[in-house]
Amino acid sequence: MGDLMEYRKYSNTVYIRMDKGDEIIASILEVCRKEGISSAVFSGIGGCSEAQVQTFLPERKAFETQTLRGMLELVSLSGNVITDDRGELSHHTHALLSYKQGEQHCVAAGHMKSITVLYTAEIELRPVVGGTIRRQFDPETGTGFWSFQ
């Protein structure tokens, strides 16, 4: 992870600026740990150099991962941070990335395993106020979903 990430908390929202080499998801989780945030939602944009895009395959109960490299515009980032049934922070993150392949403009989207910043990323992190959202394991899909208990 890069060492230039900065953030500020204004009212109930945390604004995070990430720089070259920062990994977005790990950085968001780091801010949550530092600030004692147990559940939150986030969104963002930026310019990235690498992303691991995942697609969930229900028949396998597993994710298939594709790694993209190059100049990737992070057009839209949306996700959440929750506390799992072991008390650990985890994330559920989706994104839309655009990039050029030859003369074509392409897009890739899906669940994100990791995203590395090329020049900057700007993230708005909104902690849940007045409660905590947890993750509950779902044996039918092999993944987890929000739990309000």
Q: What angle do CA 65, 110, 124 make, to 5 degrees?
A: 120
Pick the CATH number of 6-147 from 3.20.20.70, 3.30.1330.80, 3.40.50.300, 3.40.50.1820: 3.30.1330.80
- Given a cut of 90, whether residue 143 has pLDDT beyond it is no
- Given a contact cutoff of 8 angstroms between Cβ atoms, the answer to whether 95 and 50 are in contact is no
Instruction: Give me the percent of the chain exceeding a pLDDT of 70.
Output: 97
Mean local confidence (pLDDT), 73-99: 93
User: One-letter amino acid identity for 104?
Assistant: Q
- Given a cut of 60, whether residue 2 has pLDDT beyond it is no
- Given a cut of 80, whether residue 138 has pLDDT beyond it is no
- Given a cut of 80, whether residue 141 has pLDDT beyond it is no
The pLDDT assigned to 1 comes to: 45
Mean local confidence (pLDDT), 49-68: 90
Mean local confidence (pLDDT), 18-24: 97
Q: Which tokens sit at 132? A: 């905590």
Mean local confidence (pLDDT), 72-86: 93
Q: How many angstroms separate the CA atoms of 50 and 67, rounded?
A: 7
Instruction: Give me the percent of the chain exceeding a pLDDT of 90.
Output: 74
The answer to pTM > 0.85 is: yes
Distance of CA 30 to the CA centre of its chain: 12
Which of 48, 18, 3 minimizes the C-alpha distance to 123?
18
- Bridge partner list, 124: 15, 43
